[in-house]
Structure formats: structure tokens, C-alpha cells
Amino acid sequence: MPKITYLGAGSTVFAKNVLGDCMQTPALAEAEFALFDIDLERLKDSEQMLLNLAASTENTKVTIKAYTDRKEALRGASYVINSIQVGGYDPCTITDFEVPKKYGLRQTIADTLGIGGLFRSLRTIPVMLDFAQEMQEVCPDAWFLNYTNPMAALTGAMIRHGGIKTVGLCHSVQGCATGLLRDLGIENKNIKHSIAGINHMAWLLDITKDGEDLYPEIKRRAIEKNASEKHGDMVRYEMMHRFGFYVTESSEHNAEYLPYFIKSNYPELIERFNIPLDEYPRRCVNQIAGWEKMREEMVNNKALEHKRTHEYASYILEAMETDVPFKIGGNVLNQGGLISNLPEKAVVEVPCLVDKNGVQPTYVGELPEQLAALNRTNINTQLLTIEAAISGSKDTLYQAAFLDPHTSAELSLDDIVSLCDDLIEAHGAWLPQFHGKQVSV
């Protein structure tokens, strides 16, 4: 039976969802769960949580083992699931927000694009390439399932420089259409839709009900809702109004992927589009504060239960083990021009078929040109960020930041260089490639 290695297993809640799903999957009923995390206390918590869950789950014979040696955790793995966060909330996420504020640059989430997402990529890529190097030694045929952000840059680095079979997985595709219809009061039955683009900026290309195009009614209701009330999805509705299509990831995310919404010269836009600045640090503080209560409910609960979630991981593993096909929205290299008007080096989010042959992406063709153009503004920074992470070139890092839509809309070239230098200094050893240390490739 397969060995499933979980890197970042101290993410106890997410480990419960992903590995709890695997416990509910008959094809994985006798799998080995190999847990690894650098935080030994959180690792122990997750191990105890999963032992409790296994004891209360019928028809599962999984074995669960926590490792302090990463290579041993990886040895012989069939699948590796990744949900690490390099540097955590303190010190790195705080740094990603507080240093840019000195330049008047404000952010919401800072985990995908923007100056915060760029630096999160820079400190995470070397760690993930170390994973890849160890996998090449001890489990070269394993599939690497990446849940860590920035999704496109990290997945691209693993595929292009790690030599490991990799797919990036995100929640935003599964809930996009249903969430939109629910929020607009449209019945969600007999719906067909298609989605493609890049992670956190993929597009609902079409949506029909019983063969009828729903977009005209969706747009009518969205315009009315934006005009009549404050709500949490105003940026996406505005983008749909201006560019014609709805985007997969939330408004607080997309506000910082674009040059239109967070602008120091137009502070009224923050209120108008209900943009929650500093949202990710706020969530982190709340999660940290609430962990002890949650810990009691999860780690020390001998009767812990779980229902299979919509996370893709267990369904992917099930399809590969049983050869019964399953369709996902996966992040893969745009090799062969899956989306023909995006660069081949880019990581795109497209429908993929999964079976015993692995993850097989489908051809999409051209996106509407305005959507491809928006995607390319993000891809430009993603590709240069990967290059900077590998090379340790400050010039390439500066160029990645120059091309970032939000950063370049707010700061001058000189200020961007100064900001990058300040962030390199503040992050210190978290950015080894800029301090004379070799990155694994």
C-alpha cells in the first residue's frame, strides 16, 4: 500500500482535512502516513490528532508515524503532500507587511503576488528544491502535491528545476461557480461551467443551466448588488463588469494582483470596494489566539470524527491507485501551449484528468485576449521571481518587482529597489541565495 508523506504536518487543521480524507478512501485504507514538520510540538499534536481520528474511523488500517528526519520521512514515498510556510507569521509574514508600509505600500494577503508574495516565493523555493533533491534520492517516482502558496511560482520551480512530478492544488476552482450563484441567489442545479487561467486568477469562461447562458443574469445581479450594498466580493464583481468574466479567487486576493484598487492617491477606493487591508496578519493573529481551544477540541479528542472534504488530494491518490479517472483543476506547466496565448514556461490552472497514468492536463486553447493580458501581468513577475530565486541576482529580483502590477502602480523604480534591499536585509538568513549560499537545482 502507498506511503503518503506530509511535509508541513504541523498544519494540524489542514492535515486533518487532507489525511482524514485519505482515511475515508477505501483504496488508501492501509496506507502509511509519514509526518514531518520542523516544529516538533505541532508535529506531535498532528500525530496524536491523526491517531485519534484513525481509532474512530471505521474500515481504516492506516499506520501513522512522525519523523524528525525529513529524508527518512520521504524514503519510499508514493505521494508527497506539501503545505509548509517558510518563516511563518513571525518573523516573515510580519516583515512582508511592515517593511512595505514604510513606503506607503499596503497589502491584503501577500501570499501570491505583490511584494509580499514575491518575497514569500524567494524564501520558499530554496526549501522546496531541497525537498526535490532528497526526493530524487529516496522516492524519485513520487508525485508531489503542492498546496503551498505562491502556487504558480513554487509549482513552476519544482517542475522546471526540481525534476519531480508535481501538480499544484488550490481550493478556489471547486467553489467558484457555486459560490457565485449562491451569493447572487441563483439556483445551483444542472449547471455546467469551465474554468482556466492561472492560480488565483483563473476565469469562469462559461456557465450554463440546462443549456442557457447564465452570464447575462449573473452580470445584471452583480452590478445591482455592487450598487446597492457593501459586501465581500466587490472587486471581483467590478472586474467581471469591466473585463467580462468572473475570476476564481477572492476579492481581497485580487485587489492586490491588479493596479486598480489599492492606491494611495485614491484612498476612497478602499472604502468603495470594501477592501480589507492587512487581512492576512489579522487572520494569523486570530488563529494563533484560538489555537489552544482548537487544540483541545482536536488533539485531545479521543472521539474525533471527520467527513470527506472537497480537497483534491485524496481523490487524486484514489484515481492513481484505482485507475478510475477523476477530473481536477490542476496547476501544471503550460507545456505545449495548453493555454495558447500564455507563455509555455508559465504554470496554468486548467482541467486535468487523473488516473493511473498520473495528472494529464487538457488543452484549453486561447483565452479571451483581455483575460490572457491580465494573466500575463502576473506571469511576468512569477517567471522573473523563479529566476531570481535560482540565480540570487538582485537585478532580476528588482525586475520582478518592477513588473508587479500593484507595486509598480504605487512606487517609483528607485523606491522599489530600496524596498527590495530593505526586505533582503530584514529577512536575512531566510533568503540564502542573496547572502552567498547556493540554491539546490
**Binding-site annotation: residue ranges for substrate:** 149
4's torsion region: left (phi>0), alpha (psi -120 to 50) or beta?
beta
The beta-strand segments (E) located in 223-337 are 246-247, 326-333
Q: Which of 161, 171, 193, 306 is catalytic?
A: 171
Residue 171 is among the residues annotated as catalytic for this protein:
yes
Residue in the structure block whose three cell numbers are 531541497: 130
CA-wise closest residue to 398 among 122, 32, 181, 209: 122
Query: What own/partner pairs with CB < 8 Å and gap ≥ 24 does 295-304 have?
Result: 295/12, 295/45, 298/12, 298/13, 298/16, 298/45, 298/49, 299/12, 299/45, 299/48, 299/49, 299/52, 300/48, 301/52, 302/52, 302/55, 302/56, 303/52, 303/56, 304/49, 304/52, 304/53, 304/56
Binding residue ranges = 149, 170, 200
Q: How far apart are CA 261 and CA 257, in angstroms?
A: 9
Contacts of 305 (CB under 8 A, 6+ apart): 53, 56, 57
Binding residue ranges for Mn(2+) = 170, 200
Q: How far apart are CA 374 and CA 371, in angstroms?
A: 5
> Facing residues of 347 across strands?
333
Per-residue burial over 56-69, b if 16 or more Cβ lie within 10 Å, else e, is: ebeebebebebbee
- What are the phi and psi torsion angles at 30 (to 5°)? -115, 25
Distances (CA, A) of 273 to 142, 245, 432: 44, 18, 39
Q: How far apart are CA 401 and CA 395, in angstroms?
A: 10
CB atoms within 10 A of CB 19: 28
Q: How many residues does the chain have?
A: 441
Q: Which residues are catalytic?
A: 171
